[in-house]
Structure 1
Amino acid sequence: MSIGDHMKEFGGLPAFAFPEPEKKKKDGKKKDGKKKGDEKAGKKNLPAARSVAWRLGVSSWDSKETWEECFARFLDAVDTTQVEALIVGQWTESYDNGPESVIEALIAAKDRLPALRSLFLADIVMEENEISWIKQGRITPLLETFAELEEFGVRGGQDLEFPPTRHERLRKLTFESGGLPAEAVRGIGASDFPELTHLDLWLGTSEYGGDAVVEDLAPILTGTRLPKLTHLALRNSEIQDEIATALSAAPVVARLESLDVSMGVLSDDGAAALLTGQPLSHLKSLDMHHNYLTDAMRERVRAALEPAGVALSLDADDAEQDDEEDGTVWRFVAVGE
């Protein structure tokens, strides 16, 4: 599975792609006949600033402008004091260039974005760049700058840096990757998020830089720095069984409302560990979709948790495996390359 569509909503708002610059005729007029300096020409047909999650992106190869130029137009065309949600899309050659200049532009515009509560970095789909080829960098300056953020998301793990930080208001934190670096995982675990209720980590595979081991997740599993966490997703992992085993005794699970171990290579061993560990009947939902469970294990999970009212997602979806003649079995996470 690859990510083929841009985000449809974010921060509880429908996503809206900020338009490309209008083409101009040789006489300096825009296609609609208005002169270059007519301010209304760039502002008509735009939604109210507070009503949408604004998506700003450019083509990686033949863009009419850089991401920073697109952002500058956005600042001029929209009442950004009312903008609550912002989605950063493709920047130029995201497979070679990290988002440093994008981050710098956002930080420089801090005072013009006082209402910003939701920010997503790199809503980039497979036709633009594969998820594991998206070049990232140190992203914590965004959290340090925008102290009022309540939701922050990032796609791509290559060269991702997330040193330990603290944020007083963040409620939802998401990392989508085909391989999340262990150092970044440790940085997340060592961070303090006193208001965080939702943490979602796509850990990925070692082939694409996802070299975290269960021990790197230990601070998250204790929940000490996440006192209000109610939803935990540790998914899309090639060590999904080990994660499930660790969760079976993790202190944080007792206060969760929902748990997600989907999209990885979960087998009967991991599912059995969850069922024989601490009680899960308090959960509102348990997501295991895209798994390698036998039919017998699926029935065992249903029998154990459905009577308690736990909403289950157990579909295998497109989980596939390759069986070699020597007996080697290859199983794949949902989102890799």
Structure 2
Amino acid sequence: MIPFSILDLAPVTEDSDASEAFRNTLDLARLGERLGYRRYWLAEHHNMPGIASAATAVLIGHVAGGTSTIRVGAGGIMLPNHAPLQVAEAFGTLASLYPGRIDLGLGRAPGTDQATARALRRYFDGAESFPHDVLELLGYFEPAQPGQPVRAVPGAGIDVPVWLLGSSLFSAKLSAQFGLPFAFASHFAPDAMDEALALYRRDFTPSARLPQPYAMLGINVVAADSDTEARRLFTTQQQAFINLRRGRPGLIPPPIDNIEAYWTPPEKLMMERALACAVVGDATSVQEGLTAFMARHCPDELLITTNVFEHAARRRSFELAAGLMVAG
């Protein structure tokens, strides 16, 4: 059975705050560690009331400090928001504190709206400089050379696995060119998944960091004790998705009984296309769905995200999904 990992957005629900979200994040990471999940990734988003993982490196340190063996990382750091040197220093620090447990996934989108992107980095040039920035960042993790004018301290000579994240052929091509592991955002933008995977595997160039291609796919999983309950829990993510597309992001809403009354037909079609990589149901349904997904796409690893309202229900979902790892 391939490894399963967890993607967390540190959700802030309508009845909670960031402090509770962080407690829930650490609790879920500890559960994931006990259940055998390989890694626990947190995603950088800004100006989103329902997502508390904006200071991603800080939260990674919190999770790594509260766990023992599970890998902890960024899925990802949005590199256009940061100077590569600062990212290398932050993750060099994390890797020095928690050796052998820190991952760095990089994305080329700002992870927010344009006004917030300008507030994050006033000289933001867009994603066009992403390949150059990735190479610069990778260089800071190489052993420092005599006379090198700028080095990452800590960071130089420290082993930090670097992934490229994306939802397009651009990211797949760059991952292959640089010989890096690739994580595809199929959990919210699956349209180019098959083509991107094929391109990445076909064009992969072995590197000192990675001898052969390694691809991880994101997938939404909502598992519950019945199909009916799982579908109801999933309405939280469906509402949040529609709210975002309406330009009204907010706190994570509770589930509702009639999702059909919530959206318009065009919104429903858009949501179904964006969240097509979703497995929702009881333990049997989820295991069948995940098995079929893996058989069709042959990922090297699955990155599971579960965005439901109640923390107990989220824990239960990951427990049921982990049963497939045990069964395998």
- The alignment's TM-score, normalised by the length of structure 1, stands at 0.33
- The alignment's TM-score, normalised by the length of structure 2, stands at 0.33
Report the structure, 1 or 2, having the larger helix content: 2
